[in-house]
Structure 1
Amino acid sequence: MRETLRRICELQPYYSSDNTPEMQERGRLVRQALVEEIRALHVPLSAALGDFGHDILVEGSDGIGRKTELAWTRLCCKQMSPRPTVGFYVVLHFSTDGSGVNIVVGCSSSKFHNGYSIVLPLEELDNRCEWARNIVLEDRGDLEPFTDPNDFGARAKLPKSFERASALVKKVSYDDIEDGVMEQHLVEAAEMLGAIYAAQRQGRELSPADQAELEIIDITRPAAKARSGQGFGLNAKERTAVELRAMDVAEEWLCSQGYMLRNTAATEPYDFEAKKDDELLYVEVKGTTSDTANAIAMTHGEVALHRREKGRTGLIIVTGIRLKKDAEQPSASGGTLETLIGWDIDEWLLEPTAFRVSR
């Protein structure tokens, strides 16, 4: 690997968008030689990815048609990132001046939303990278040694977006490129990637509304699920565990505020009737494993209630619920409470995600 990586670095200053002899050689190295050399590290990389190490994908590209400034070779779990436009992965980018190779834990510049993959605005791409760093920090306690700048010397728009999508970077300078050094950092990067995948599998990146849309798509468009390959949704038992945990957290808070409660989740389009003095409040509870809840899913009946009883309803959202997966009896714990009493649903944007279409 040492010779391959150094040779790619030596070729970088000769970059041309045309298929020059130097670019032909660089292409063979990133698409073939380096791919095979990373595949040879399958055992340690598979162990580092943990539950996601069973279907490692390694591939490289130097551009489609015209050559790109930032040729790349990436490794990932195929199920979690079947294409470079989807999900998170470890990717090697080469500084345009040939000064070194950047080992990156990064992401695609697109994301699932409203049933499809959309290109993210730069601000949202930055937020996605920040989310990944927080996951790794939570898992490992620090980000070292992946704290180098995501500046690889790119000038063109697409390569610049590759830089922007680099959440964690370890630059290995040309003189320091050695087989042992590269293997160590690739394994570290794979461990970080495994932590991000585990958080995604728990549903921590998708909003509650996006999670609900995935469930709808699984039913109405099963072929789409098969094509995407990503298993971000929770099963029925896991969803129930999360919902019950949210109800417990909400009930504890409402009681602490002096409300007398009646659980109506099974019979009404709201979860609690809450009474205090002469006040009657209709409370809807939403629980999620997501770390944020800027969008939630509601039924037609729930929306109608919040509009009809505006000023007398409450929305309680419990985010960041941690799920312990178990095939027989999953359990949920934790959660961060957000209470919106006297919630005005019309201050939020309503977007239809599914329709009942009757003959």
Structure 2
Amino acid sequence: MIREHFIEILALQHRWSDQATAAMQRRGVLIRDVVPELFRRNGALSVAQGGWSPFPMDVQGKDGIGRKSQVPWVRFFSPSESNSATDGWYAVYLFTGDGASVVLALMHASTHANGDALIPRDARAIREAVDWARGELGEWMQHDERLLTDIALRAPKSKVSAAYERSIVAAYEYRVEAMPTTEELLGDLRDVVGALAFLYFARS
């Protein structure tokens, strides 16, 4: 079902509006509620709860604060390491603005909050963080030729998509016409979460 919901979200991206239209309300239900719960039921829980994550992990989906964002996301994180999407390291699915693909990225927080607005972080600081992570994950970065280091989210009306792109350490990209099975998606997610755990331990 994860695969099918991803395809539906990407179809809704073609009807994107920053207003709460019927299409965006449906997208919000999928992003905030349905998809995170499916991942929780498919193992995205702490080891103590019987899941496969090497650290206590939570799942969160967001589609905008107030106005609807052009790049909605679902992220996986340790609450002690990243208590919000504007802090720390996490794994995240980013849905491209043109509805062509979804990206599973290992990334650092790229923005900070100013009221209801998200402000891109300093580009130099982000580059230093990404370079550090790539240095720590040297072998992992080479283990799968599908891993990408340059991603385009194709969201020209987004004020933060460029900051997201700069903050990505490595990513898998799934085109809508060649969406993997749910089992394959979960396999890649386990892989990225393992790399995320390595970064958490490297920082401790």
Deviation string 1:228-269 (CA, Å, 9 cap, x unpaired) is: xxxxxxxxxxxxxxxxxxxxxxxxxxxxxxxxxxxxxxxxxx
d(CA) in 1 for partners of 2:45 and 2:189? Answer: 9
1:191 alignment counterpart? 194
2:76 alignment counterpart? 75
Counterpart amino acid of 1:76? Answer: F
1:161 alignment counterpart? 163
Report the alpha carbon displacement of residue 158 of structure 1 after superposing the two structures with TM.
1.8
TM-score (normalizing by structure 2): 0.85
Counterpart amino acid of 2:200? Answer: Y
Q: Matched residue of 1:167: which SS?
A: strand
1:142 alignment counterpart? 142
Aligned residues with identical type, % of pairs:
25
2:116 alignment counterpart? none
Cα 1:70–1:42 shift into 2, 3 Å:
same
Cα 1:124–1:48 shift into 2, 3 Å:
farther
Q: Matched residue of 2:11: which SS?
A: helix
- Are the aligned partners of 2:153 and 2:161 in contact in 1 as well (CA < 8 Å)? no
d(CA) in 2 for partners of 1:68 and 1:24? Answer: 12
2:122 alignment counterpart? 121
- Are the aligned partners of 2:134 and 2:169 in contact in 1 as well (CA < 8 Å)? yes
2:99 alignment counterpart? 98
Matches within 5 A, 1:307-346: none
Report the alpha carbon displacement of residue 143 of structure 1 after superposing the two structures with TM.
5.2
d(CA) in 1 for partners of 2:111 and 2:174? Answer: 28
- Are the aligned partners of 1:91 and 1:103 in contact in 2 as well (CA < 8 Å)? yes
Q: Matched residue of 1:89: which SS?
A: strand
Deviation string 1:323-343 (CA, Å, 9 cap, x unpaired) is: xxxxxxxxxxxxxxxxxxxxx
Counterpart amino acid of 1:150? Answer: I
Report the alpha carbon displacement of residue 49 of structure 1 after superposing the two structures with TM.
4.1
- Are the aligned partners of 1:45 and 1:187 in contact in 2 as well (CA < 8 Å)? no
Cα 1:141–1:92 shift into 2, 3 Å:
closer
Find runs of 4+ consecutive structure 1 residues off by over 3 angstroms: 43-49
Q: Matched residue of 1:42: which SS?
A: coil
Counterpart amino acid of 2:186? Answer: E
Cα 1:175–1:141 shift into 2, 3 Å:
closer
d(CA) in 2 for partners of 1:48 and 1:137? Answer: 23
1:171 alignment counterpart? 173
Q: Matched residue of 2:199: which SS?
A: helix
Q: Matched residue of 2:8: which SS?
A: helix
- Are the aligned partners of 1:68 and 1:159 in contact in 2 as well (CA < 8 Å)? no
d(CA) in 1 for partners of 2:13 and 2:79? Answer: 29
d(CA) in 1 for partners of 2:103 and 2:3? Answer: 14
1:32 alignment counterpart? 33
Stretch deviating more after TM superposition (159-168 or 67-76): 159-168
Report the alpha carbon displacement of residue 103 of structure 1 after superposing the two structures with TM.
0.3
2:203 alignment counterpart? 200
Counterpart amino acid of 1:174? Answer: V
Counterpart amino acid of 1:21? Answer: A
Report the alpha carbon displacement of residue 44 of structure 1 after superposing the two structures with TM.
8.2
Q: Matched residue of 1:157: which SS?
A: coil
Deviation string 1:130-149 (CA, Å, 9 cap, x unpaired) is: 211221115x3625232152
- Are the aligned partners of 1:48 and 1:190 in contact in 2 as well (CA < 8 Å)? no
- Are the aligned partners of 2:141 and 2:147 in contact in 1 as well (CA < 8 Å)? no
For the aligned residues, what is the CA RMSD?
A: 2.2
Any stretches of 5+ residues in structure 1 without a counterpart?
112-117, 202-359
Report the alpha carbon displacement of residue 175 of structure 1 after superposing the two structures with TM.
2.6
d(CA) in 1 for partners of 2:86 and 2:143? Answer: 25
- Are the aligned partners of 2:44 and 2:58 in contact in 1 as well (CA < 8 Å)? no
Query: Which structure's relative contact order is higher, taking Cα pairs within 8 Å and 6+ residues apart?
Result: 2
Deviation string 1:265-316 (CA, Å, 9 cap, x unpaired) is: xxxxxxxxxxxxxxxxxxxxxxxxxxxxxxxxxxxxxxxxxxxxxxxxxxxx
- Are the aligned partners of 2:45 and 2:57 in contact in 1 as well (CA < 8 Å)? no
- Count of equivalent residues: 191
d(CA) in 1 for partners of 2:192 and 2:111? Answer: 21
